[in-house]
Amino acid sequence: MSLSRNRLSAPWLPFVVFAATYFLAALLRAITATLAPSFSAEFDLGAADLGLLAGAYFLGFALLQLPLGAALDRWGPKRVELSLLALAVLGCALFALAVNFTQLVLARTLIGMGVAACLMAPLTYFRRHFSPAAQLRCNSWMLMTGSSGMVASTVPVQLLLPEWGWRGLFAALTLLLGLGMVALKLGLPADSRPTRDASLPGARYRDVLTHPEFVRLAPLGLVLYGGMIAMQALWAGPWLTQVCGWTPTQASRGLLLINLGMLLAFLGWGWLMPMLSHRGLQVRRMLVWGVPMNLLILVVIALQGPSAGAVYWMAWCMATSVVALSQPALAQAFPVHMAGRALSAYNLAVFIGVFLLQWGIGAAIDLLRSRGLETADAFRFTLAGFAVLCAGSYGWFVGWPIRHAHNGALPLSQ
């Protein structure tokens, strides 16, 4: 159904209210990179602890993805997101009041659960109401909104930190999430009546998980997409401070640059992809061409070490952003009534990757330092290992159509 044929009374109002809550979800996702020095100083946290704290958000997020997909298909985006955001409000309030590391981790896990629908709900809505070209554009612009939230988690947070403290910041975020719930309630049309098709959380997930397109794309989502978020949301900051020797203020400015680059990348994809799709350029071809650039930049960063500052990480994140195009393309390989489950299953793969990489990278760095390596070298060797994983996921993606062409995989051509 085309966007023009299905206009609401205010056609962009749903996008705006969804974007507002996703902005806050992305800010909460990335804020640990800026606040890492504060948490380390107050709670005496090591690299593995920081990785666990940052990853707890993604653990909570991932735990809800499969039931979330079935709920979106059955109950609709508005009902589901409103229900879950109440958990995010509670999690932010508890985080602001936490007095030890365990309470921080538990509260952050609750936050991750509460914002679990902030991207999947709008993508499901777009799949139901917008044309394929409009879906690609709105998906990219939703991710651009997320990048804006990550921009807000850098220098703006660093500027507010001396006056408000990290507890005051989370109290303010609690209030903003509550206002976001009000905007969703008033700004979105009512969901249709619940369907019976997805009454059980596991209904039809086997069809999704065994679909050739899902199997082909899942490793890219797990390693590359998950790795991009893990680096952007956490490890780019410690790299700048512990490898490049930057101050926290300099690092926050570097993170601002990285996230501005991501914002521009998703803005560009939003404009370009409908035109490229109209001319017959497949998403799969974009991935085949784009991912090698990601691998090249990653190797350069590992080799350059202390010389690889924020500009390098911005270039890597922008090159990796092409992987985000796989999300709406995958949804279009499934019927409308299964879009929520397809998107959530893929998102589960992505955020399992984020959790494992955020924690695993920290654990690897601590292990290498315990064996006598300097901090910068520990980061570089760990990054080299991550590059090997990225190359493996790309090899799987490229080789899958050749080895399994008889399975009837659908082209990602929308």
CATH number, domain with residue 295: 1.20.1250.20
- Given a cut of 50, is residue 406 above it in pLDDT? no
> Which has more pLDDT, 87 or 7?
87
> Which has more pLDDT, 168 or 10?
168
Is 2 within a domain?
no
Range of the domain at 67: 9-189+200-407
Is 158 within a domain?
yes
Is the distance from CB of 204 to CB of 198 less than 8 angstroms? yes
Is 1 within a domain?
no
Can you give the pTM of this predicted structure? 0.78
Is 3 within a domain?
no
Is the distance from CB of 201 to CB of 67 less than 8 angstroms? yes
Q: Cα separation of 5 and 235, whole Å?
A: 45
Is 134 within a domain?
yes
pLDDT recorded at residue 270: 83
pLDDT recorded at residue 198: 44
pLDDT tens per residue, range 341-367: 888 899 889 988 988 998 899 999 999
Q: Cα separation of 170 and 154, whole Å?
A: 15
Q: Cα separation of 344 and 22, whole Å?
A: 16
Is 328 within a domain?
yes
Number of domains in the chain: 1
pLDDT tens per residue, range 144-169: 999 899 889 988 999 999 999 999 99
Is 412 within a domain?
no
Is 113 within a domain?
yes
Q: Cα separation of 30 and 149, whole Å?
A: 8
Q: What is the mean pLDDT of the chain?
A: 87
pLDDT recorded at residue 195: 61
Q: Cα separation of 273 and 93, whole Å?
A: 40
